[in-house]
Copies of this chain bind each other. A is one copy, B any other.
């Protein structure tokens, strides 16, 4: 196993769950659980000892489009931070809540955070053929409903992160700066690029830049890829990158819906943290479109009769699909792959895989109020319901 592979090992896998623990059994004693988890992490061969390939310099650039194979990273020095051990340290630090996202600044100032509706409109394409994007990995309390604040790990302070809109063949030049103690990284599903370089973990105060040209149109997920990935997605580090084809799709009202799950624990300062054990159990407390349960029931999406509506649906998970359906409507087109090809027609509901994305289109022939839901109702009922009002 090469040095790189050793690095990547810890990046990807993180601690394996203890096979001896019963994931269904309630945790009687968090202290016991954590003691065991800690021992296990060290006990799993190759994981405890591996160091993460975290960037140690102020800024590195990986441009795989024009300079394939060029190694622009500085390798982890002996004693560099391990994403796993860092996480372990963080969760075991006195005053923090173990096995959760209640780290560092995730819960600070929660009481003062206001609720805001997450705007679902697809932003217009930027002018020019190169788009520069700079995200910061931040911890932040996010108010997801009037009475619930989540201590989240975020891109740019919100869950989901900002919508990226680009076009096949245009260039995205992306920079990640990490503002927090735990290492983070960025994985764009729209990029064909060496993840060992482009998607590697960045430690506090450091930045990493890479460039890519999307090859396929579609609704793609992005997320933090640092181990354990489950924890990083589950704590809020995900979003959508929407890639339009070179030939524009038919005119439509375009909306982005990113479905995710929240797994909640108690936490400091009145916030709810994200609970890793619940993530491993795949038992979410809430399932949402764009990070807030039922937000578009209260403040619906609004279109007009005659509009074509295009939903860019991304299933961020971390674990469950979106079984996307619009009550009272049918999709005239669902793109299973890259539009404008790869379409099926006359669809009531289709499954978007966790980690996947699909585009759903319908034409508003009828005025009215049309709920959009995850029709897997054990999850839909936990908050994955919105409302599209079609005005006459």
Give the residues in chain B near A145, CB-CB below 8 Å: 44-45
Check if B19 sits within 8 Å of A198, measured CB to CB: no
Highest count of chain B CB atoms <10 Å: which of A282, A283, A377: A377
Given contacts A22-B26, A351-B351, A381-B14, contact A69 B392 (CB under 8 A): yes
Chain B's closest residue to A329 (CB) is B192
Q: How many copies of this chain does the complex contain?
A: 3
Give A288-342 interface residues, CB cut-off 8 Å to B. Answer: 293-294, 297-300, 305, 317-321, 323, 325, 327-330, 334, 336-338, 341-342
Chain B residue numbers with a CB within 8 Å of A86 are: none
Query: Closest CB-CB distance, A75 to chain B, in whole Å?
Result: 14
Interface residues of A in 33-49 (CB under 8 A from B): 43-46
Q: Is the interface of A mostly helix, strand, loop or mixed?
A: loop
A297 to B368: give the CA distance in the assembly, Å: 45
A378 at the A/B interface (Cβ < 8 Å)? yes
Residues of B within 8 A of A156 (CB): none
**CB-defined contacts of A383 to chain B, threshold 8 Å:** 13, 16
A339 to nearest B CB, angstroms?
9
The distance from the CB of A92 to the nearest CB of chain B, in whole angstroms, is: 20
In the complex, are the beta carbons of B389 and A17 less than 8 A apart?
no
Interface 1/0s, chain A 214-253, versus B by CB < 8 A?
0111101100010011100110000000000000000000
Q: 19 extra interchain contacts, Cβ-Cβ under 8 A, other than A16-B286, A318-B376?
A: A4-B369, A5-B387, A8-B369, A8-B387, A9-B294, A12-B294, A13-B294, A13-B383, A16-B382, A46-B298, A189-B325, A197-B368, A199-B328, A217-B346, A220-B348, A323-B354, A325-B355, A336-B350, A338-B346
